[in-house]
Structure 1
Amino acid sequence: MKKLILAATALALSTTVTTSISAQSAQERLDDRYNRALAAGYKALFMCSAISHAEANGTSRTAESVMEWELTGIQAPLDQMVRDMPFEIVRHDNGTVERVKVEWAEDSQPRAAIHLDNDRGCALNPIMGPGHYYGRPANAVQSRMRRYQSIAEAPRALRPSFERAFSGAYGEEARTTTVLVRYNGKNVGERYVKGFDHATPQRTWSVAKSIAATVVGAAVQRGDADVGNSADLGFKRGEPRAEITIDHALRMASGRYTDTPGNRTDPLYWGGASILETALEWPLVYKPGTVYRYANNDTLAAVQAIAGTFEDHPPSELFAKLGMTHTVAEIDWRGQYIMSSQAWTTARDLAKLGQLYLNDGMWDGERILPEGWADYVSDPSGPQPEGTLWGYGAGWWTFRRPEGNAFEGIPDDAFAARGNRGQYVVVVPSRNVVIVRRGEDMVGTRFDIAAFTRDVLAALEE
């Protein structure tokens, strides 16, 4: 077994707060320890996923690159903690990543992210849990053969928009890694920051919610699901949560309580807790279908409602049909898909996802999604978010709200997948256009995807 130890000292574990620890309250000490555990999980998971998925795609990422992009400018207080935490990348004899371990406390097991395989990616162990929950896979993971493909050079009309996307003109300190435009079924322009290319995957963050809506749509087309059916959140007959449908969950309208706006799911994402523990048991506070509240738990509930279909039809089957060969939906340590955020993919694969919607669910002569599914996911017919010009459909954001479209220069039928740190997929059916922007934007910065979309659409008219 080959090991790469990239931070060999545990000094950081004992020196962080030694001078002030006696002045901390019990709650402050507890919070600090919990945050360190989360930071270690965050670091282990990103190191494992970014490096192993890139290598599986035939390209590469270094630990230094992951620190520079994925682990810089993240949420406080984890952003300070992740920098000096000792970590170890453990590899199989064939050189592929087996796991990444991060030290965080002298009296605890390291946080560990285990690379299961190329279809399920990396999973994180629980806090205080040993790093061998999945054990070592029986066979070393095999890398895919790299497919070298030329980069589509942007036509002259698009170049100014592309330049501005990388210069910060669409958002001060926004950090663009990739832009791609697909027009009339072809990628007509794409550009990558140094160190990234067409095979370099990034975490989708909440773009995964739109992928989840697509996975649900595929199940509906097969006859395995109905969005009007209960999401099975009630424990027994007569419980009001049983009234929550898959449609309610996709529209962020389940009516369930969440403890923070946006439903921070740190225990699941970075703590190693499972979906079954954290996402499904929140109580009802509004009648389902009456109030919008953006919540990771709602998307997770919609996916969990069709989990019984995944043995025969895992998400990887859908990705393969669409040629999204560089896309991986990852799981928790109990095997459930964290498809509210934890998927890794490339700009080209996301462009194919958008193309599926331009095709009204058809791909290579096969109906993948029900007829009209694009209209369904882009229809802001349910309760809507407050304080924004954006509308919300079923797993996708819309440029129009029920009262109209406030985005000048963008057609009413445009809709988008949006994710943390600047992940965007914009679909414009009336113009036959898909626009992808990937980034690693710092906390507190935002890329103006509406302005970029407007400029791209105007350029394509020239």
Structure 2
Amino acid sequence: MIRTALAAATLLIAASPAVAQTQQEALETRHDRALAAGYKALMLCSAIAIAERNGASRSPESVAAWELTGVQAPLDAVIRDLPFTIRRGPEGEVAQVAVEWATDMAPRVAVNYGADTGCSALPIGAKVEGGEPSAATKPARPSTLLALAASQEVSPALVDAVGSAFEDRYGTGTRTTAVLVSHRGNIVEQYQSDFEENVPQRTWSVAKSIAATLVGAAVKAGDASVEDPVGLNYWRGGGGIDPRNAITIDHALRMASGRYSDTPGNRTDPLYYGGSSVDETATAWPILHPPGTVFRYANNDTLIAVKAIEQWLEFYPPAGFFAKLGMTHTVAETDWKGNYILSSQVWTTARDLAKLGQLYLNDGKLPSGERVLPEGWVKYVSTPSGPQPPTGTFGYGAGFWLLNKEEGVPPDTFAAIGNRGQYVVIVPSRGVVIVRRGEDPAGAGFDIAAFTRDVLAGLGGD
């Protein structure tokens, strides 16, 4: 058993709210604590269990220093002091993580469901029979910093760009954990001391690009078309048809469903940390605009695109697709009902993300020559068809961001981008994939366009 030793009296929420709080404020405070506990349980479970699956290790202290620091407000002020317990199974594997948050409620629990689907957060208040926690632990990995490695001479300019990613050149306060540059078969990589090549991190919204890739695989198999309705079968009756039935997979991949969301990106906290399911959280939002007319970046749109191919995924789960690509250190997690949370909840390594990027450099074909994505899929995901983001300089394709207007960056450049500084930049005209992993705190931004320019300059012509 691993358990924090802080005094519970100072950590657990009081049974009744402070007098100065309104009833609603007290309710929101309590809800924030429940979310913070779910966040902590899931991060500890996933980070440690999947690292050990990959033959590496993470300690709770390492997760606290990286994944559990710099979280968005108001969770950040709560999360670090919540007591936790890690329960291990008979073979020493992580079985559950429980985090206490209220004296009158069960702890928040994340359960490890196995090598292929990782950990899931259970609903708030769920009680789990886990028996006595096991004292079995795996030894902590010693801190190391891998040197740059490549099969050809690396230019000083490229060494400088990669090294500077771990400093503040590309954003004050950013925290880079890994950088990998792949150029025509040659790889340069560097890692922060708590990470190495087999230690996974959560992809956050890079998972949206993985979701688009899986949709492409379903299209290649002939089991889906991007023009198909998402198939949620909204209301029909009384002579009327719900306009949401017109939403296609293409609309969903391009963030153009026309549906309402409560915040930009519709934070989806109840699903990500609250233990709700994809069906409860993502499917029922109302429509405000005709599909295909307004860009609104939303987790829910990716989730309904994945729902559209869920029957295909039952026969061809992500784990099998990852194995084909050689992404053997990647796990797509699910909610507790088994729905893939492919808007965010994938854990993977820089090397595996480089293999995803290489698939796109190879026009959807494996090194063996087998085609796993349809002809023209690269153009499809990287073409700004339909409505575009109203702010910022990046465009949007289908599940990928576009750097087509960035000065000094080739116009065919597109990227998978996720929270806390996750980037997979693909430059087909240069044969380059750039992976940057981070645990950037809320409010700190990594300038991926500037980094891309410097890396490409460091690689020289061709």
The TM-score, its normalising length taken from structure 2, stands at: 0.92
Q: Sort the Cα spacing of 1:368 and 1:7 in 2 relative to 1 into closer, same or farther, 3 A.
A: farther
Distance (whole Å) between structure 2 residues aligned to residue 86 and residue 415 of structure 1: 42
Distance (whole Å) between structure 2 residues aligned to residue 9 and residue 368 of structure 1: 54
Aligned to 2:397: 393
SS in 1 for 2:347: strand
Q: Sort the Cα spacing of 1:130 and 1:8 in 2 relative to 1 into closer, same or farther, 3 A.
A: farther
Aligned AA (2:346) = A
Aligned AA (1:11) = A
Distance (whole Å) between structure 1 residues aligned to residue 147 and residue 186 of structure 2: 12
Aligned AA (1:73) = G
Aligned AA (1:371) = E
Distance (whole Å) between structure 2 residues aligned to residue 373 and residue 210 of structure 1: 12
Does the alignment pair 1:313 with 2:295? no
8 Å Cα contact 2:14/2:103 also seen in 1: no
Distance (whole Å) between structure 2 residues aligned to residue 350 and residue 388 of structure 1: 25
Alignment match of 2:41 (pick from 31, 39, 44): 44
Kindly report which structure 2 residues correspond to 1:279-298, keeping only aligned pairs within 5 A, or say none. 279-298=282-301
Q: Sort the Cα spacing of 1:19 and 1:335 in 2 relative to 1 into closer, same or farther, 3 A.
A: closer
8 Å Cα contact 1:35/1:77 also seen in 2: yes
Kindly report which structure 2 residues correspond to 1:34-433, keeping only aligned pairs within 5 A, or say none. 34-132=31-129, 152-153=148-149, 155-157=154-156, 158-187=158-187, 189-237=188-236, 238-363=241-366, 364-400=368-404, 405=405, 407-433=406-432
Gaps of 5+ in 1: 143-149
Aligned AA (1:93) = P
SS in 1 for 2:110: strand
Distance (whole Å) between structure 2 residues aligned to residue 439 and residue 28 of structure 1: 33
SS in 1 for 2:417: strand
SS in 2 for 1:100: strand
Aligned AA (2:322) = F
Aligned to 1:454: 453
Aligned AA (1:422) = G
Distance (whole Å) between structure 2 residues aligned to residue 11 and residue 301 of structure 1: 43
SS in 2 for 1:458: helix
Aligned AA (1:159) = V
Distance (whole Å) between structure 2 residues aligned to residue 267 and residue 20 of structure 1: 22
Aligned AA (2:306) = V
Aligned AA (1:190) = E
Shift of 1:384: 0.3
Distance (whole Å) between structure 1 residues aligned to residue 129 and residue 403 of structure 2: 45
Shift of 1:168: 1.1
8 Å Cα contact 1:99/1:113 also seen in 2: yes
8 Å Cα contact 2:230/2:248 also seen in 1: yes
8 Å Cα contact 2:155/2:459 also seen in 1: no
Distance (whole Å) between structure 1 residues aligned to residue 186 and residue 376 of structure 2: 23
Aligned to 1:145: none
Distance (whole Å) between structure 2 residues aligned to residue 43 and residue 450 of structure 1: 32
SS in 2 for 1:159: helix
8 Å Cα contact 1:39/1:78 also seen in 2: yes
SS in 2 for 1:427: strand
8 Å Cα contact 2:15/2:102 also seen in 1: no
Aligned AA (1:164) = S
**What RMSD in Å do the two structures reach over aligned CA positions?**
2.2
8 Å Cα contact 2:215/2:309 also seen in 1: yes
Aligned to 1:147: none
Aligned AA (1:153) = A
SS in 2 for 1:179: strand
Distance (whole Å) between structure 1 residues aligned to residue 155 and residue 30 of structure 2: 53
SS in 2 for 1:332: coil
Distance (whole Å) between structure 2 residues aligned to residue 300 and residue 193 of structure 1: 32
Shift of 1:186: 3.3
SS in 1 for 2:315: coil
Distance (whole Å) between structure 2 residues aligned to residue 271 and residue 419 of structure 1: 20
SS in 1 for 2:112: strand
8 Å Cα contact 2:6/2:81 also seen in 1: no
Distance (whole Å) between structure 2 residues aligned to residue 427 and residue 419 of structure 1: 15
Distance (whole Å) between structure 1 residues aligned to residue 16 and residue 301 of structure 2: 43
Shift of 1:26: 0.4
Shift of 1:93: 1.6
SS in 2 for 1:167: coil
Aligned AA (1:257) = Y
Shift of 1:18: 9.1
Shift of 1:4: 2.3
8 Å Cα contact 1:125/1:131 also seen in 2: no
Aligned to 2:143: none
Aligned AA (2:297) = Y
Distance (whole Å) between structure 2 residues aligned to residue 216 and residue 20 of structure 1: 47
Q: Sort the Cα spacing of 1:295 and 1:71 in 2 relative to 1 into closer, same or farther, 3 A.
A: same
SS in 2 for 1:252: coil
The TM-score, its normalising length taken from structure 1, stands at: 0.92
Shift of 1:399: 1.0
Aligned AA (1:176) = T
SS in 1 for 2:165: helix
Shift of 1:9: 4.1
